Amino acid sequence: MQALHYGAKLHREELHLTELGIATLTSCFVNSNRDPKSEAAKPSDFFYFTPADDEEERISSAAANAFFALADAGKLPGWCVALAPVDKLAKSRNSDPVNARVWIGEGLVLLQPIVDNGLVRFPLGFVDGVSGAIATDGGVVKVPALGEAWVLDGEFALSC
């Protein structure tokens, strides 16, 4: 279900990028023919596919605090920091103390992982194009093919 959500969001963003040029040209045309006393048109006035800021995608403050604590300590790989949605993390960050936990494997980072009935659940994770059984410092995790992605409220199976 979450993969469908990300696919729909990606599609909206692609459509928005496609419409940027047309919206800019349309605003130029409208501005060249408008009454000089009226307000100028902006390209955003002609957007139809503007990506929505989904409140449901809010990152938990515990995950955000753990991310920044680990990043400040230099314990996260560079690819993970580059992939992170820093703007959303910064909005979710607060001053609550956090006991930062992380599982790191080759191409995999799971923040605040919890093991439950053969699954590892985590509020925020990062995958760098790996899939299959990935060995982490917390155990071997079965990762589906996601490509390069960050995952909210995810769960992966643990390998025995």
> pLDDT tens across 93-124, in order?
888 888 999 999 999 999 999 998 889 999 99
State whether 48 and 121 are in the same domain. no
What is the number of domains present in the chain? 2
Amino acid letter, 30: V
- Whole domain around residue 77: which residue ranges? 57-158
Q: Are 15 and 29 members of one domain?
A: yes
- 62 and 135 share one domain: yes
Q: Could you tell me if 99 and 37 lie in one domain?
A: no
* Same-domain status, 143 and 127: yes
* Model pLDDT, residue 53: 58
pLDDT digits (tens, 9 = 90+) for 14-73: 888 888 889 899 999 999 998 888 899 998 888 887 765 554 567 889 999 999 999 989
Q: Same domain for 96 and 109?
A: yes
What pLDDT, on the 0 to 100 scale, is given for residue 2? 47
pLDDT given for residue 3 in this prediction: 53
Is 57:88 a contact under the CB 8 Å cutoff? yes
Looking from the CA of 112 toward its CB, the CA atoms found within 13 Å total: 21
Q: What is the pLDDT of residue 110?
A: 93
Considering the domain architecture, whether residues 31 and 84 belong to the same structural domain is answered as no
Cα separation, 126 vs 158, whole angstroms: 16
CB neighbours (10 Å) of residue 121?
16
- Residues 47 and 86 grouped into a single domain: no
Quote the pLDDT of residue 121.
92
Pair (83, 144) in one structural domain: yes
pTM score: 0.64
pLDDT of residue 19: 87
pLDDT tier for residue 131 given thresholds of 50, 70 and 90: confident
38 and 63 part of one domain:
no
Q: Are residues 61 and 125 in the same domain?
A: yes
Query: Which 3 state secondary structure label does DSSP give 2?
Result: helix
